[in-house]
Amino acid sequence: MPGHQITCPYCFEKFTDDQVHFRMETVLDSAKDVAVNVTIEGTSRSYHSPDEVDNDPGLSETMRYKLLNRLHILSGFVQGEDPVYAEFWKRYGGTTTEYVDHDDLHPFPWLRPVHDLITEPEFFMQEAEVSADSGLVDRIRDANGEYTTRRVCPHCHNPLPEGYGRYPVKHIGVVGLPGSGKTVYLSQFCGLVEAEFKKIGIRAVPLAPGATGYRRNTMISALTPVPEPTKPESLQQPLCFELTYTGKSGKQYGLTLVFHDVSGRNCEVSRDSPSLSDNAARYAPFLEHADALMLMVDPTQLDAMGAANTSEGPQSVLSVLRDLYAGRAKQLERMPLAVCLTKGDAVANQIFGGPMREMTVPAGGAGQSRVFNAEDYNRIHGALVKFVQDKSPTLDNALSVQYPNYNLFIVSALGTGTRPVGTQSGTRNVPAGALAPKRLIEPVLWILHRMGFVGSAGLAAMPNEWICPGCERSVPGDVGYCPNCGIGRDGDWKCLLCGTVNSGDDQRCRHVEQGLFGRSKRCNGMCPFKFRETPGANENFTGEIELIRWAIDDDEREAAARKGDLEAQLAIFDDAQKDNEGGRIRYWGDQILKNPAIKDRPLDLCRVCEALWNIGSGVERFQWAVLASRSGDRSAGVAQYQLGQLYLQGKDGVPKNLERGRYWLERAWLNCQILARDMMLSKSQLSDMHLQWDIDRYTNAVSPSKDLVESEIRELDVLVDFYQGTDRQTVLVKSRARLRYQLQRIHAREQAAIEAARRAEEARRAEAARKAEEARRAEEARQAEKAKRFEEARKAQAARRAKEAEAARKAEEAKRAEAAKQEEAERKALAGDLDAQIDLILTAGENEDRDRMLFWCNRAVANPDIIYNDDCKGMVCMTFAANAESRSKAYRWLVLAANCDDGFFIGQARCMLGQTYLSWQGLADRARYWFEEAQHALASEDVSNESVGELLSEIRKGLAECAGAASDMKAVLRAKIRELDILIDSPWYASSRGSLKTKRDVLASRLEQSPETGDAPRTASKSRPKHADASSSTPSFPPAVSSFCTHCGSQLAPGAKFCFSCGSPVQETSMNDWPSPVSSQQGNNTHQRQARPMTDEQEIARADMLVAQVEGLRQEKRYQEAEPLAREAYELRQFNYGLANKDTLSALHLLIYVLNDLHRYREAVELCRILVDIRSMIYAPDAPELKDAKDWLAFLSQRAG
């Protein structure tokens, strides 16, 4: 998965693998190659710049945007110098050393454009791809469809090797003086790394392009000159190698090694300026970020003449490193340092007395021992240490004091000598024989062992330690004899009883002393080697030594102690400790410390200082703790702990320094771990120490560099005074001088920082004052602008209020004028002015005032002048028809309006009457008649008028529906009789009432003479329910249930005798009391009134009664009897309310329930679909009523199959 942490091997910035940038695979040579070809309307065009696109008027905005976007993307693929990349290499001579493959010459890699997927997504076609093997983001497809795997650092744009970041990365800095053989070693290492590591079961792969390019450019053969030294002004590409192996559990282990070849010139220190050189400071990051160091040393550079000068020889490189790590000495001391003697084949005879041997593989064979072969290395370790000590004691002292984690190695990159040959560039060296490199990877294996990547076959010897040949324990280098068994490193031994040094051939101590009574007595001490060779003596070795100890006379011992005998002084000091005599401990402790011989016995020095610590106080305790801690003995852990506590607590005149205290605690803990490994401490004791010391509490303790340096100088002052007149004093004095120089630099930096801070504070205050002044002026301007806007707003508000007042005044005047006009119109209307009444009707209709509109319609109906104005009659009748309470009332008014003269309202009434006959009664013949009459009435109207056009369309539609349809003649005659009855009852036709009655009688006679042929099929789907008197000849339109006053037009209550508005008596000839038309059943010509059918209210009441009866029958499960009653109730409500009515839909739902009870599912499904359609039109989509209907439809559909 993405998210791997990566450290750039060039700039050492940290980032994740999904933040890398990519070099493009698609590259254009120049801006001239940027072109977009398009084909528009069959014509091919080419655009090379945004100006050409902008100046083309034939392009649409969409096409122009696409072309400009494409040109922008293509311009990002033009090759050229990368400013970020160039800025990095400008610090190292201005020229990159990036290696170029033969197939990657055009263009050069560093000229390829670099883009970021996050900030520049337009240059990529898709998201970056994650490798299935490494889990890294390593491939992406650019906007031109090409895949690229050229990852670069997002900070410096230097290339990242393939797979870099998959495993942890360790950096190794390779340093050395010019001519030390760094380049030759690295060249041979790159070529042989795979084969050499394969011998021990580790897969080593050089990562391109760094390692492979370096090997190709520095190839060495028998006929090829060795590479020239690295130029000081150039930076070599990092050499990356990937090391992997599979553990016993099957787990994959991996590590990436990065070698940084730093030029030897950058490691030199000028004689005039022994401080850090400019070149070394420029190349410092490659050493400061190193996890390990390799110091390459040519044996010829170990010249004793110049070894004493720290500015010359290999020790100058160490001085540069110390300067780089100023204030971080602890980090440098922990860092593994492999000091490699190069050209080992030339000095092998001098070191080993014979040829240089190959490195052997540990037992187990290749592929089974992934370890550093310490047993093989220890065979040559002593010779290497002696060689360096003899050649350069100063280098040996500097390494021992300043780099405790170092070791010596010998390598031969060529395995043969060199000879000079002449070339065009001058004299060059070429190998004198066949190449046979030896021990190339041994120092790298040791570094990997110290890093924990590989193990070790045995305990590796260190230069500042030697292995006791008797007990095989590690002994400090400055201790001549093993404190455990007394055997020396040269084979001699020191008697543990008397301290006499004996040769390795002596089986018993040769020391003889004069005993009591003048008798001579020989020491009974035995050689550990000889004693242990005696059968059965090994078990009683310790007991025998204790039994044969003998004591020297106290007086003689004290006399010897006063003469300077260290052994006697130590013995007396031990006795004083046993007797707890503080004065004698202090006296003889001071005498021992003044004895020069104690300086070569770190163990005794350590225990004496610890004893003095326990009885001392003040600054002396600090001095004794320093001497014991710096004695070099592994038993100095307690003293180091005490010194750490002094720093942590700030006691005895020691300034408090948490970081230095933590350093000494860690040193003490390290010594205790070594003692535990050597079985001098038990695991429980070690655990108790760790718990008591609580080192983890100070893990994050940090102190200023100045305090750390001062603490080290204070410790060195104590050591310099103690080791006066010894070689160690020289090293200590130089170290103290270096630290004092560092302290001066720290003081200078502090002063510079203080001065810079002062100047920054002054600048900050000046900037703050300037900003405050600008803020004040801005605030004043803002307040002025605010006041100006407030004044403008006040004026605008006043003007708006005046304008509103004027508008209100005018509106009030217009309202009053309109009210006066309305009052005048009403006055005229009440006086009987028909035109005024018609205007008031139209005004009420516009205002949607139904009551007022009906009031003036009633006044207009009662106006005698309306009889002679057909347009007014038509309009009033249409108004009543539109606002009628029932279809029967609407039918009466439509008949009255349809019998007026021609006009728009008349045509509209006739069309509606035709639609009534067609859809309500199914009389197509009568409907056709009225549609044709309506067409005739509109003959003189303007057909271009929208309303007229729509009405003509409705008429044509009705005629089309009537085409081919036939009606029952008797039904047509009854309809005509009903129309004549309405006209006869109307007072408007009182003058022609006789002729109308004659027509009616004729039609009634024809009706009686018509045969009983039954009803013809009807075109409409709706029909009145069949009541018990449905066969009667009485018309199916009930009369009105209420009437209007003929005087004032107010609506009258049912049964009222007087008008509640004006008090006029109700006349029997009211329009709503007109007699219903009847048809003669006896064949006479007289008009006889028949019994009226049910009124609308009666029908509604009957429907409610039927619904109640159906619900009762359902409870009694009498479904067969409930079905016809439910159907009649539904038809009655549909007739009176219409289909889109809640009461009608509830009756329909009840009918569906009954059909479901009777298991007549198909009929119930058809009715339920009607229910869903109607409810979907009148309810919201999420209404529960609609959801219930849909659920019933799904249920019934499932039952119906």
- CATH number of the domain residue 280 falls in: 3.40.50.300
ω into residue 209 within 30 of 0, thus cis? yes
Most confident of 119-128, 163-172, 1088-1097: 163-172
User: Which of 526-535, 792-801, 1021-1030 is least confident?
Assistant: 1021-1030
C-alpha angle 898-899-902 in degrees, rounded to nearest 5? 75
In a domain, 1124, yes or no: yes
Shared-domain flag, residues 455 and 472: no
Shared-domain flag, residues 376 and 494: no
Shared-domain flag, residues 576 and 473: no
Per-residue pLDDT band for 688 (boundaries 50, 70, 90) equals: low
Counts for the chain of helices (H) and strands (E), in that order: 39, 29
Mean pLDDT of 635-644: 75
ω into residue 107 within 30 of 0, thus cis? yes
What is the residue-wise DSSP string for 426-477?
EEEEEESS----BSSSHHHHHHHHHHTSSEESSPPP-TTEEE-TTT--EEET
Q: Which of 678, 702, 724 is the last residue of a domain?
A: 724
Shared-domain flag, residues 175 and 144: no
In a domain, 358, yes or no: yes
DSSP one-letter code for 127: P
Shared-domain flag, residues 1043 and 905: yes
Convert the pLDDT of each residue in 1119-1132 to its tens digit: 888 998 988 888 88
Asked whether residue 864 carries a pLDDT value surpassing 90, the answer given is no
Per-residue pLDDT band for 554 (boundaries 50, 70, 90) equals: low
Whole domain around residue 592: which residue ranges? 553-600
Convert the pLDDT of each residue in 822-858 to its tens digit: 888 888 888 888 888 888 888 888 888 888 888 888 8
Convert the pLDDT of each residue in 762-791 to its tens digit: 999 999 999 999 999 999 999 999 999 999
In a domain, 163, yes or no: no
Work out whether the CA dihedral 654, 655, 656, 662 comes out positive or negative.
Answer: negative
Shared-domain flag, residues 688 and 717: yes
Per-residue pLDDT band for 697 (boundaries 50, 70, 90) equals: low
What H or E segment, with its residue span, contains residue 762?
helix 727-830
Per-residue pLDDT band for 256 (boundaries 50, 70, 90) equals: very high
Integer Cα distance of 884 and 882 in angstroms: 6
Shared-domain flag, residues 232 and 378: yes
User: Which of 273-282, 409-418, 992-1001 is least confident?
Assistant: 273-282
> Which two three-digit tokens encode residue 277?
């050189």
Helix (H, G, I), strand (E, B), or coil: what is residue 1093? coil
Of 776 and 426, the one with more pLDDT: 776
Mean pLDDT of 238-261: 87
Of 1191 and 428, the one with more pLDDT: 1191
Mean pLDDT of 556-578: 81
**pLDDT score recorded for residue 257:** 93
**pLDDT score recorded for residue 106:** 62
**pLDDT score recorded for residue 1035:** 31
Distances from the Cα of 1131 to the Cα of 920, 1023, 1031, 1102, 1124, angstroms: 13, 8, 18, 11, 11
What phi-psi label fits residue 367: left (phi over 0), alpha (psi between -120 and 50 degrees) or beta? left
Of 34 and 942, the one with more pLDDT: 942
Shared-domain flag, residues 224 and 354: yes
Residue with tokens 């718990």: 691
Of 1022 and 679, the one with more pLDDT: 679
Q: Which of 669, 697, 724 is the last residue of a domain?
A: 724
User: Which of 345-349, 879-883, 1091-1095 is least confident?
Assistant: 1091-1095
Per-residue pLDDT band for 1085 (boundaries 50, 70, 90) equals: very low
In a domain, 31, yes or no: yes
**pLDDT score recorded for residue 792:** 92
Asked whether residue 548 carries a pLDDT value surpassing 50, the answer given is no
In a domain, 164, yes or no: no
**pLDDT score recorded for residue 280:** 65
In a domain, 769, yes or no: no
Query: What is the CATH number for 1105?
Result: 1.25.40.10
Integer Cα distance of 1138 and 316 in angstroms: 113
**pLDDT score recorded for residue 445:** 92
Asked whether residue 1040 carries a pLDDT value surpassing 70, the answer given is no
Mean pLDDT of 459-468: 74
Please answer whether residues 878 and 897 qualify as being in contact, where contact means their C-beta atoms are separated by less than 8 angstroms: yes
Shared-domain flag, residues 595 and 607: no
Task: Please state at what angle helix 582-594 crosses helix 602-615, rounded to 10 degrees.
Answer: 140
Per-residue pLDDT band for 871 (boundaries 50, 70, 90) equals: confident
Residues 6+ apart with CB under 8 A from 292: 170, 171, 172, 173, 335, 336, 337, 338, 447, 450, 451
> Whole-number mean pLDDT of the chain?
77
In a domain, 804, yes or no: no
User: Which of 289-303, 391-405, 792-806, 1059-1073 is least confident?
Assistant: 1059-1073
Per-residue pLDDT band for 907 (boundaries 50, 70, 90) equals: confident
Shared-domain flag, residues 131 and 230: no
Q: Which of 724, 741, 764 is the last residue of a domain?
A: 724
**pLDDT score recorded for residue 910:** 86
> Which two three-digit tokens encode residue 1092?
């009226």
Mean pLDDT of 1054-1074: 43
Per-residue pLDDT band for 1024 (boundaries 50, 70, 90) equals: very low
Residues 6+ apart with CB under 8 A from 793: none
Number of domains in the chain: 7
Of 791 and 221, the one with more pLDDT: 791
**pLDDT score recorded for residue 921:** 66
Shared-domain flag, residues 1063 and 1105: no
C-alpha angle 510-512-517 in degrees, rounded to nearest 5? 160
C-alpha angle 935-937-943 in degrees, rounded to nearest 5? 70
Share of the chain above pLDDT 90, in %: 10
User: Which of 424-428, 527-531, 603-607 is least confident?
Assistant: 527-531
Work out whether the CA dihedral 578, 583, 585, 587 comes out positive or negative.
Answer: negative
Most confident of 176-190, 729-743, 996-1010: 176-190
Residue with tokens 């060795």: 226
Distances from the Cα of 220 to the Cα of 198, 228, 1129, angstroms: 22, 11, 114
User: Which of 157-161, 464-468, 716-720, 960-964 is least confident?
Assistant: 464-468
Shared-domain flag, residues 985 and 1017: yes
Spell out a b/e string for 30-59, using b for 16 or more CB atoms within 10 Å of the CB, else e.
eeeebebeeeeeeeeeebeeeeebeeeeeb
Integer Cα distance of 1201 and 1192 in angstroms: 14
**pLDDT score recorded for residue 1048:** 46
In a domain, 1088, yes or no: no
| Cα maximum dimension of the chain | 191
The stretches of 307-373 forming alpha helices (DSSP H) are 315-324, 329-334, 344-352
Mean pLDDT of 885-889: 74
**pLDDT score recorded for residue 791:** 92
